[in-house]
Chain A
């Protein structure tokens, strides 16, 4: 006789949460990301001045008690603009990573599931894309669809999909001959059901980890494109555009570059620490995606 032993199983997310909370670096990362999200949501309430209000008497003035981070070449308050920039960066980061992940999942699923020539072609394209510097791909797409915030989101999305495709393909390959998939197939499930209901949910965790770090990378890429004059156009207070504008005043008003850059650095640090901690606790083998 087999006795039913009652073992208490904690839900997996609780185990992960518990392990995560003991990871110091990860908690710092979480804190930084939460700060960014709060600042992004409550930007209009936190801004001491309107981000587009110009003060002709205080052009390029250094940090002071009334303007904590100083003002820019139009006399606009830099603190308010940096706060507003958090919102733009966050939205750009999340949206463009969402685009990359969706493209990556579709291509990775098709390549991993169907194999053969389809796999070879898709994998070659993904490998080529992955080995290219993202900035080059993004520049190419921005050149085609034109500068501006929307095109930057699309361009970044199209630059970073390859790593997700590779991850998903690898997972699907290792899972598609598993016994539980065979069982599902023998019950008459269609390819579509097997792929999206059974294979994908079991392959998604490394993608989530990579996507977290990806948001940080996307934010930097947006700023770099903005800096090169290909991103958000003035007067949009994107961090990249603010710094691009500040380059001309580097020697007389360095605060125009220092503070948006610091804000961006802290944000990216947050996503990296969070992602690294996720890799540690989930023991995902993708050390290279850092």
Chain B
């Protein structure tokens, strides 16, 4: 088990380098000069050269990459060109908001998704099944930002139950988390249902019935446990969806967060901020998939045996 974890952890290091290289080179293909937006009216060409030097933008790209990577690893992510403060401070400030939104959405996805999946599999081809699958399908098809706007319209404006935007209290978290979580819930419900239905036809289930166990016990204790495997894997791989959803939803509800930070930096061509937030989001996705892998191998010994 630990050998497997160790090997998978080592694999994260080259992935980090690939991602940092890709993000760095792509960002430098972006047209538009951030220095231009910094210079006030009436500044000379000499001012521009001086300022370019201050931000190290006059050196060759490989050199810039080396310098940047070395600083990045030691925690110095540079200075925001527009906000004039260290990028690491901005990340530290925004990160908790995104993490909170992410965790709340994952919670909603799992609870709602698994609930819908189980009841629709247990009541296959009945009215309950159709209704749950319709909810799941809507979760997958409704664009997150639109759902967010509609929820805001109904629950904040018309009913006045939740604040329209903001980030301080727990109430401000409810609508954004439901918005992001519903897409994941739809996905999980569909996978749970399919993998549970597959289990129903297995011989061991027939044996359990023969033993005289009741249906609820069989479903919860035996079928569900086995059916959870694909849910864990696919969810780990799709953790990116949650983060992708969070990026847009932070804008919809004007919440602070990494996504909001990334987008405003993109509009203003603030390279250091864009780079750092992209790498953070990307690594979060990769690490999510990594954790799912570990969980999966913990639950299914056959997976880690491959690595022996």
Contacts and interface: CB of A to CB of B under 8 A. Distances in A.
Interface of A: 124, 128, 130-136, 139-140, 143-144, 146, 216, 220, 223-224, 227-229, 243, 247, 250-251, 254, 257-258, 261, 264-265, 268-269, 272-273, 287-288, 290
Interface in B110-168: 137-138, 140-146, 149-150, 152-153, 157
A139 B274 CA distance: 11
Given A143-B30, A227-B248, A288-B191, A251 B150 contact: no
Interface of B: 15, 18-19, 23, 26-27, 29-31, 137-138, 140-146, 149-150, 152-153, 157, 187, 190-191, 194, 234, 237, 240-241, 243-245, 247-248, 251-252, 262-263, 266-267, 274, 278, 281-282, 285-286, 289
Contact of A136 (B30, B144, B282): B282
A265 B23 CA distance: 33
B278 A136 contact: yes
Given A128-B15, A247-B149, A265-B146, 15 more contacts: A128-B18, A128-B19, A131-B289, A133-B247, A135-B244, A139-B266, A228-B248, A251-B153, A254-B153, A257-B146, A265-B141, A265-B142, A268-B142, A287-B191, A287-B194
Contact of A261 (B137, B150, B157, B190): B150
A243 B187 CA distance: 25
A140 B278 contact: yes
Contact of B274 (A133, A143, A220): A143
B94 to A, nearest CB: 16
20 contacts: A131-B237, A132-B282, A132-B285, A133-B244, A133-B247, A136-B240, A136-B243, A136-B244, A139-B262, A140-B26, A143-B30, A228-B251, A251-B157, A257-B146, A269-B141, A272-B137, A272-B140, A288-B191, A288-B237, A290-B140
A69 to B, nearest CB: 16
Nearest to B269: A143
B263 A228 contact: yes
Given A143-B266, A146-B31, A133 B146 contact: no
B187 A290 contact: yes
Contacts of B31: 144, 146
Contacts of A287: 190-191, 194
A250 B282 CA distance: 32
B274 A264 contact: no
Nearest to B152: A250
A135 B191 CA distance: 23
Chief secondary structure at chain A's binding surface: helix
B162 to A, nearest CB: 15
Contact of B285 (A133, A257, A272): A133
- Which residue among A133, A220, A224, A261 has the maximum number of chain B CB atoms within 10 Å of its CB? A133
Closest 6 CB pairs of A and B: A133-B244, A261-B146, A133-B240, A135-B244, A268-B141, A220-B143
A109 B99 CA distance: 39
Contacts of A220: 143
A227 B153 CA distance: 17
Contacts of B263: 139, 228
- Which residue among A136, A220, A229, A243 has the maximum number of chain B CB atoms within 10 Å of its CB? A136
A243 B278 contact: no
Contact of A290 (B26, B190, B243): B190
Nearest to B186: A290
B294 to A, nearest CB: 15
B296 to A, nearest CB: 14
Nearest to B247: A135
Nearest to A276: B137
Given A250-B149, A290-B190, A134 B143 contact: no
A198 to B, nearest CB: 32
Contacts of A143: 27, 30, 266, 274
Contacts of A228: 248, 251, 263
Contacts of A134: 244
B130 to A, nearest CB: 10
Contacts of B244: 133-136
Contacts of A257: 146, 149-150, 153
Contacts of B149: 243, 247, 250, 257, 261
A203 B88 CA distance: 47
B152 A243 contact: no
